């Protein structure tokens, strides 16, 4: 691997196996924020070192095991026809996933490798002092010191403290399930959150019979009842069984099957399946970093504690991306880059407090996108609200969803009666992941619901639903 050759070259130049190097900027982990700042600093003439312990993570989690590969699989699952052979179709989708992620890894590597002042290092990093890191790669070690250090190591799927829970055999996390073989005819998903429901929807469309065990009172507990009900009914219509108030007791597997034992209302039940997905959150990758040697504090869950400028408790050390405990989205990591870049090269005023109306999308089929407050949250905060809500199938002025053959979903917008400002929106329909960006932009810049209602949108588009739904505020 080319990154190993970088370490080897350093060893050769120093004629010893334990070498040292000082750089202006040291980035630990190839996540979105860190890799972007590495390139920016190098182009400004700084000497930069970027350390990544896994060749299959070059470019970051997003392009290798998260956003990009899973959305490839979601897209291909949506295109499957009943006549398609499920196993062959799934294998082809996985192959397409692997081809694209490999190309993106190569591109990400070359983008930094072509910069003369960037040192790419393959190995495991651990702090040995203030802004001092030892990198171990095979039989070689490299000690790196830096004026500024960025910790950008991200998170990994959590293995819950449930009897028998592990990753191996028929038991998977969100990374290993992407290469499950053959396609499981039956799948049990432990966890009804963001990841669990995305994978449930995806595998149902690939042809698996999916059961989701959710410990909450209902799925999508953060959403209003009407939005959650719409999404749940769509999942059920696609063949997903959602079991609420399910407390998983144990998990086991053998050569033939996997079994999940769980309790509902005091009754013990079992679910057998070809595969089990553990989808109960993510854990920060900090345990092996030796953060105490650098004076970097973490919270009780292992996330690095940062201030509004992403500075850690150690001078000259920043934490970017999922590892700092903020929203776990690639685009938030990119904004982390903007904040730290402003600290290093700008006026230092940009901060996390500037983030207003940050949207997100759960890539169900169709996608569920949200920004701002729910109706329940807005009322609880004392807003006098107007609400516009329609099932997408009932929105006459936006035929795009019907044209694409999937008119399911809901459009819901919450508006402050006094100011006419949009407080929040939940959009579940085709292209919702795009329309939500328009709504969030309006919220950030004080564009009123009336302006959104009376704006001219292309036809036929999903955006047109805003004309009709906002005209029905009450």
Catalytic residues: 459
Residue 366 preceded by cis peptide, ω within 30: yes
CB 197 within 8 A of CB 218: no
| H-run or E-run covering 186 | strand 186-190
466: which 2 tokens?
Answer: 């805003």
285: which 2 tokens?
Answer: 């990758």
With tokens 């405990």, the residue in question is 325
| H-run or E-run covering 407 | none
Question: Hey, is 400 helix, strand or coil?
Answer: helix
Strands 209-213 and 186-190: parallel
Calpha distance 228→230 (Å, rounded) = 5
CB 144 within 8 A of CB 127: no
Beta carbons within 10 angstroms of residue 308's beta carbon: 12
361: which 2 tokens?
Answer: 């999308």
Residue by residue, DSSP assigns 433-451 as HHHHHHHHHHHHTT-BHHH
Contacts of 81 (CB under 8 A, 6+ apart): none
Beta carbons within 10 angstroms of residue 123's beta carbon: 20
Contacts of 441 (CB under 8 A, 6+ apart): 357, 447
Question: Hey, is 194 helix, strand or coil?
Answer: helix
C-alpha to C-alpha distances, 391 to 231, 431, 438, nearest whole angstrom? 11, 15, 20
Q: Hey, CA dihedral for 296, 297, 300, 304, is it positive or negative?
A: negative
404: which 2 tokens?
Answer: 């694409």
By CB atoms closer than 10 A (0-12, 13-18, 19+), residue 256 is exposed
Calpha distance 115→459 (Å, rounded) = 45
Angle at 164 between CA 163 and CA 168, to 5 degrees: 155
CB 368 within 8 A of CB 361: yes
115: which 2 tokens?
Answer: 């910069």
């Amino acid at each position: 691997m080319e990154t190993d050759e970088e370490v080897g070259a350093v060893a050769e130049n120093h004629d010893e196996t334990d070498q040292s190097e000082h750089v202006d900027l040291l980035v630990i982990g190839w996540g979105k924020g860190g890799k972007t700042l590495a390139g920016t600093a190098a182009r400004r003439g700084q000497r930069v070192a970027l350390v990544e312990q896994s060749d299959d993570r070059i470019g970051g989690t997003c392009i290798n095991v998260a956003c990009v590969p899973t959305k490839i699989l979601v897209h291909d699952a949506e295109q499957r026809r009943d006549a398609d052979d499920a196993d062959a179709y799934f294998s082809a989708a996985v192959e397409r996933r692997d081809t694209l992620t490999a190309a993106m890894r190569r591109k990400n590597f070359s983008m930094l490798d072509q910069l003369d002042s960037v040192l790419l290092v393959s190995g495991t990093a651990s702090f040995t002092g203030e802004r001092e890191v030892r990198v171990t790669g095979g039989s070689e070690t490299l000690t790196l010191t830096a004026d500024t250090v960025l910790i950008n190591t991200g998170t990994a799927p959590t293995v819950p403290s449930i009897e028998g829970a592990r990753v191996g055999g028929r038991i998977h996390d969100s990374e290993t399930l992407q290469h499950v073989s053959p396609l499981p005819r039956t799948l049990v998903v432990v966890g009804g959150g963001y990841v669990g429901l995305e994978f449930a929807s995806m595998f149902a469309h690939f042809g698996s019979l999916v059961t989701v065990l959710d410990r909450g009172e209902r799925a999508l507990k953060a959403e209003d009842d009407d939005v959650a009900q719409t999404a749940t009914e769509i999942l059920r219509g696609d063949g997903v069984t959602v079991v609420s108030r399910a407390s998983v007791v144990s998990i086991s597997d053998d050569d033939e099957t996997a079994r999940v034992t769980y309790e509902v209302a005091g009754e013990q039940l079992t679910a057998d399946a070809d595969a089990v997905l553990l989808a109960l959150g993510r854990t920060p990758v900090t345990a092996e970093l030796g953060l105490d040697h650098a004076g970097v504090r973490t919270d009780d869950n292992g996330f690095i504690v940062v201030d509004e400028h992403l500075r850690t408790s150690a001078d000259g050390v920043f934490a970017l991306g999922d590892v700092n405990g903020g929203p776990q989205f690639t685009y938030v990591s990119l904004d982390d880059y903007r904040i730290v870049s402003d600290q290093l090269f700008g006026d230092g005023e940009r901060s996390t407090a500037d983030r207003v109306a940050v949207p997100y999308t759960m890539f169900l089929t169709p996608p569920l996108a949200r920004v701002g407050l729910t109706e329940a949250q807005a009322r609880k905060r004392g807003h006098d609200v107007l609400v516009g809500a329609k099932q997408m199938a009932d929105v006459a002025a936006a035929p795009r969803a019907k044209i694409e053959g999937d008119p399911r979903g809901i459009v819901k917008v919450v508006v402050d009666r006094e100011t006419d400002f949009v407080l929040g929106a939940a959009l579940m329909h085709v292209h919702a992941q795009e329309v939500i960006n328009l709504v969030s932009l309006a919220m950030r810049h004080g564009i009123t619901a009336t302006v959104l209602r009376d704006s001219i949108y292309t036809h036929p588009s999903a955006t047109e639903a805003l004309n009709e739904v906002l005209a029905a505020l009450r």
